[in-house]
Every structure is written in structure tokens, then in C-alpha cells.
Amino acid sequence: MASNFRQREILELARKDGKVTVDGLAMHYDVTVQTIRRDLSDLAESGRLERVHGGAVIPSGVVNIVYDERRRLNEAGKKAIGVRCAQSIPEGASVFLNIGTTTEAVARELLDHENLLVVTNNLNIANILAANHSCEIILAGGILRRADGGIVGGMTVEMVKQFKFDYCVLGCSAIDADGDLLDFDGQEVMVSNTAIQRSRKVMVVADHLKFERTAPLTICTLGDAEVLFTDAALSDPLQASCAAWGTEVVVA
């Protein structure tokens, strides 16, 4: 019974923070690291967690995490990223924001910006920015993805093609060790690619958990972006790659 109760709590902690560590959990529950490793192994075998070095994370791969759970992952880190990204967007700018909980965090920090033109394929971002009465909001039409309020497909791509944005704020599902931005939905990837091509400056927003996940489809690389906003230092090889590409890295 104690083990089952602890495992339920561990799963909730992982959903809240995105990752749990063996040492941290052993200290928290005042049990041995062997006990925690058994708990994590049980949760991994049932598919509820994925083991990584030193702990476990919410599983990823070919299926994305449920959107409400993604919202709860590392909320503080996403807010910090949102603040720094929003500070880099001047008033009066035209901005595209794509689907994602981190781009939603950016939208919340744009509520006091004056005279923005925001185009988005994210219903949640449109609803957030509706409170900013000086912000003109254009919702790109297309197929509604009910699971997360995203709008995708060929119609969305054609609408995005009509614009030339000052800034594209781009979220993703994962970032590979070589700097590739990854996602799960091919229709969403098409929209993001179009926005990149139609933007003067591309800004990627991704918290540290995105570097621990994977997804099957490539959007672009960090070399295609002018700046990456994140909440933890990059690995030395990826930091070196960003320097070679001329991609600025801002750690919030």
C-alpha cells in the first residue's frame, strides 16, 4: 500500500515538474535509492514514466503528452521564457505564434504590449490576447485539433503565406541533440515551416524538458532561428553549434 501511494505521488510530481530524480525522491520520502529505483521501474514498465539517467520523465516518442499535462510541466520555467521573449518584441510589431504551451506563456506576457498584430493557429493564444484591446488578432483558419485548440492543414498554410511577419515565435515538441526542432503532426509542421519562411526574425521558445524528449518529424534546426529562449544552459556541443550558426541563446 505504501509503495502504491508513493508511486501515485511520484507520478504526480513528474507531471508537475516534467522530471523526477532518484536522489531527490529518496530524500523526500526518506527511503533508499534502491526503493525509488524499484518504484520508477514499476512506473516505467506500466508505461507511465520513462527512465532516464538518474531519474525518470513523462514518456514521449511517437505520441505527444496530453495537452493539459503539458501545461503543468515546468510552469515557472515557461513563464520565465515568456517574460524574456516578450521583452524582445517591440510594440507595434507583427508576430506569428504557433501551437504550444510555451508560446501561450509568451502570449500572456504580451498583454501589456501596444498595437501588436498577432497571427496564430492556436485558439488558446487568441483567447489569451483577447484581453489586450490594442492587439489585432488574426486566427488562421483550417482544421481544428480539439485536443489542444490548434488549427492546422493546407488552408492554414495558405493563410499564413499572405503575411510577412516581423517575428515568428516558434514552439516545438522536442529538440534533438543536433539542434533539430521536432514535432508529432505533419500538418502542424507545414504551418510552422511556412511561418518561418514568412518571418524576418525567428525566435524559438523551449524549456529544458524539450531537450530530454523526442518526436518523429523535423520542423527546422536551431540554425534557422536568430535566437533561442530557454531556461537552462545547453550542452557544450549544442552551444558550440549555436555559436557557429549565429543563433543567440538566452537563458531565462
pLDDT value of residue 49: 87
- If we measure between CA atoms, which residue out of 238, 102, 216 comes closest to residue 170? 102
For 186, the grid coordinates are 505533419
Nearest to 89 by CA among 77, 106, 102: 106
Local structure of 94: helix, strand or coil: strand
Among 211, 216, 167, 218, residue whose Cα is nearest residue 190? 218
Residue type, 223: G
Q: Are 192 and 183 in contact (CB under 8 A)?
A: yes
Question: For residue 221, what are the β-bridge partners?
Answer: 180
pLDDT digits (tens, 9 = 90+) for 59-86: 655 444 445 555 556 789 999 999 999 9
Q: How far apart are alpha carbons 238 and 229 in whole angstroms?
A: 14
pLDDT 10s digits, 47-58: 888 888 899 987
Distance of CA 149 to CAs 39, 43, 68, 144, 216, Å?
Answer: 35, 30, 11, 7, 21
Mean pLDDT by 10 residues, the chain (252 residues): 83 80 94 95 86 81 49 82 98 97 97 98 96 97 88 95 98 96 94 98 96 93 98 97 98 96
How do strand 50-52 and strand 55-57 relate by DSSP bridges?
Answer: antiparallel
Contacts of 31 (CB under 8 A, 6+ apart): 6
Mind listing the domains of the chain with CATH numbers?
Answer: 2-59 (1.10.10.10), 68-251 (3.40.50.1360)
Check: CB of residue 227 under 8 Å from CB of residue 243.
no
Query: Cα 181–187–191 angle (5° rounding)?
Result: 70
Question: What pLDDT shows up at residue 71?
Answer: 57
